[in-house]
Structure 1
């Protein structure tokens, strides 16, 4: 069995949290069986009988050439931080909910943010320090009916993180803006550091020195 252990980190991560992988000789059928057990555990134990949804989401991004990563149930349970409702993202009048899952194949080197609505694609990251509270909506900046989103991104090391803004284009979350977030300056809150200035235009607040100099970085798309 191939097992990937991950650590549950606080929302502001100041140390490395990359999982350790233990590889043993197993065949693909055994790993596939364990993966399906992981899906059932997620769906039945953590998602209140939503195995069909988890299976649809996992297999949507599970390429045959990338191998399979399986987990112990205790690892999945300890790493699961619940759900977050972030409002109506795709304009269907239904509030959208997100959650974080670890990678289930070796092509993904980091956690992903998933939506309960499978019509919305996941947001893949290359970080193992993702938390539901780190993602938040920033409004329909380009006025196309789809709300843009932003994440507090942590590499799991150093005090310097990032705020990264994304827009949904061609069924893919595309980066539209990025600024440095110094955890020595936690105020104002991350949700108040992004603001729309016009159609397709917005600013992100960057604070990176002890004199608390503030710079609104401008972006357009």
Structure 2
């Protein structure tokens, strides 16, 4: 990356109220905790732990008055872990990705399938882009109601390179193919780090937007006697 490109990237992140270090710190903490999983945990546990902790530490930093001014908000509604900009202009969620993460010239998609709530949010991102509200929208009254679904949602995409290193980018999704997010209006490469030592994207949230955690249950009537 050239010096000019780095300046443009820094300026864009500043517009969005975040920094590269913010994401590096959150993902580094998530890596440390996921590494505590052992062979006695469920096979998907490292990936679940990383996803949950990445969102947790991102939220802890952005909602801490001692570290962040103004303070962001946080919500887990519809099983989508989101930090919300103080003005309500946009939100961010961390999810695993697949493909050329960090390389805007390569294709990238969400590694795991997403549900109906996420599909609607991605579709709404297109409306914001066309109306010019991608960066700033006046919604200071948010807390959260319908306003939560009426703002652009950015993805902190993370994954592993071919040689196993952690890599991340911040991107704005605008289209899904089936249940996978695969088109973006903007992609901001962030960093490449050390090998976390486990499968980052083995499983993350199903985002099904219900209280069942993405599980399907069959309800049967009790036979009469």
Q: TM-score, normalised by structure 2?
A: 0.25
Q: TM-score, normalised by structure 1?
A: 0.25
Structure number with higher strand proportion: 1
More RCO (CA 8 Å, sep 6+) = 2
